[in-house]
Structure 1
């Protein structure tokens, strides 16, 4: 006991005061730069590419809401990424609570600002609900945003979360509307050697096009970034009218299935809460299956309540069919029996989704289980 007591005495700080001067108040986007892992999950390669996903999600929200029909994603040789859409464009008029700033500057420099908290601007959305684009701004050494609204083009430049000048009225434009964001990740945060991989961004763009069949995504990268043998095109327009069924067919390719065709479909969710789309098959081979789930076009690699709803619907459906044909063993079917070895794609669009963690890797909305289960069965 004496040794333990001495140990604690050695560890205890001596002669230190704790007063009001020790209390820090971080303002603006400083918390993001101090602790980026709290907002994008770290500063590694995965977190770096998450920046692109956040900007692309905002453009996808415009498309899902019916205001944009195409999106462009471009990777330049210097590592800059540009995301462009033909949506409504971020509002540029003065913000009611901060009249000295435009709504654009408020959105880009203040956490928890945006049009996704209420139900008016967006019924469903995938961005970080007022955090995403401001986080990208905070973690970029250069970000330029252009907005075309009401036949006028506006531009503002930022660095590390701070505006480099006022919102600039560039001049009149014809046949153009929407938002363009061009940014470069800050090497102070991600390291000098950090760089975007064309393959990762191309797959991201392709998955978004599969998840929302109403949008066309134009992909482009500088050919100098492509390595020999890469299966990544320098340019491609991505548009998949078949949605997840097309996605599943592309993934499975020539694999033989236990059924004549995949089980795929779409259905509205009850109470006008959104819709669900699914595509799954049981390959007749020794390769592993997979389950990829999404909510509002955002990947949820850890699954969640929407996946639980699909599992319940499939399990109960197969049990009911077994009972119908007189197979008594069907009552013992479990969800693991159903999903084990299956190739599963699930996408839902719901209002006000709740996720576990800021990077949204698992859907936690409790009502999603019931909504998806009832829609699928």
Structure 2
């Protein structure tokens, strides 16, 4: 319904007001302290567009936290009026993960009893400055979690990037098992691995393709093939470099 945007850049502050998508004022330019940087957006949701104009503090908290996780070393402050909270969500917090996904996974899953002490982590360069980061922790109990994101937006229905990682993992383990003559290797399927894993996948794409309008699932066959091949190679290298770990994973 209403929106005000303020941008701090090179000792100047630019601001403009909008009503239902149309400029209400001209761009206002003023001087400001040169230490000020960034963008501030204030808005009132439009009842004619949104089914509900009320936001869940818990969802907002998680949403903002994951922004700080997926863009490492970013500092984000969270603040909301206490009276709007009806659960255990903090009304005020600060997020900063200097190592991004690594810090988040180690902080949140450290209590899990692990198959192996060493986790798998890799940053992959794709095409045209596109990239993918993967972190996998293997636990002894059948407690799994798989979180995937594209351009910091959650993809709860998975898609090409998740399929690529699952297939790449399975293929690399099977290749390693056959080469080293593990008798039961042919019986292993992707669920045998995923069900004992905590995984986070984050990709940054220039022009991602989604299935439907909700953008919950990525559909990019070429990306899947490329990422699957890279993942297979990277995880196979990791297995060959950590042979004791590889044996534990296959024999679990």
TM-score, with length taken from structure 2: 0.80
Q: Name the counterpart of 1:338.
A: 193
Q: Report how far residue 224 of structure 1 moved.
A: 3.3
1:86-118 Cα distance to aligned partner (Å, 9 max, x none): xxxxxxxxxxxxxxxxxxxxxxxxxxxxxxxxx
Equivalent runs, 1:345-364 vs 2, <5 Å? 345-364=200-219
Distance in 1, matches of 2:49 and 2:207, equals 31
Match among 151, 155, 169 for residue 15 of structure 2: 155
Q: Is the 8 A contact 2:178 2:185 kept in 1?
A: yes
Q: How many equivalent residue pairs? A: 231
Query: Match of 2:84?
Result: 225
Q: Secondary structure at the match of 2:83?
A: helix
- RMSD, aligned CA: 2.3
> Which structure features the higher share of strand residues?
2
Corresponding residue of 1:43:
none
**d(CA) in 1 for partners of 2:125, 2:183:** 33
CA displacement 1:215-268 (0-9 Å, x = unmatched): 2222222233334x61x3333221112322322233324121222233222232
Of the structure 1 ranges 290-299 and 217-226, higher mean CA displacement relative to structure 2 is found in 217-226
Q: Is the 8 A contact 2:209 2:219 kept in 1?
A: yes
Cα distance in 1 for partners of 2:155, 2:50 equals 24
Partner of 1:211: 70
- Secondary structure of the structure 2 residue equivalent to 1:187: coil
Structure 1 residues 1-377: aligned runs within 5 Å: 141-169=1-29, 171-175=30-34, 176-190=36-50, 194-227=53-86, 230=88, 232-269=89-126, 271-287=127-143, 289-376=144-231, 377=233
CA deviation string 1:20-67 (max 9, x = no partner)? xxxxxxxxxxxxxxxxxxxxxxxxxxxxxxxxxxxxxxxxxxxxxxxx
Q: 1:276, 1:375 within 8 Å by CA — same for their partners in 2?
A: no
| TM-score scaled by length of structure 1 | 0.56
Structure number with bigger Rg: 1
In structure 1, the gaps of 5 or more residues are 1-140
- Provide closer, same or farther for how the CA distance between residues 245 and 153 of structure 1 changes in structure 2, counting only shifts above 3 A: closer
Gaps of 5+ in 2: 234-252
Bigger mean CA offset, 349-358 vs 360-369: 349-358
Distance 1:145 1:235 in 2: 23
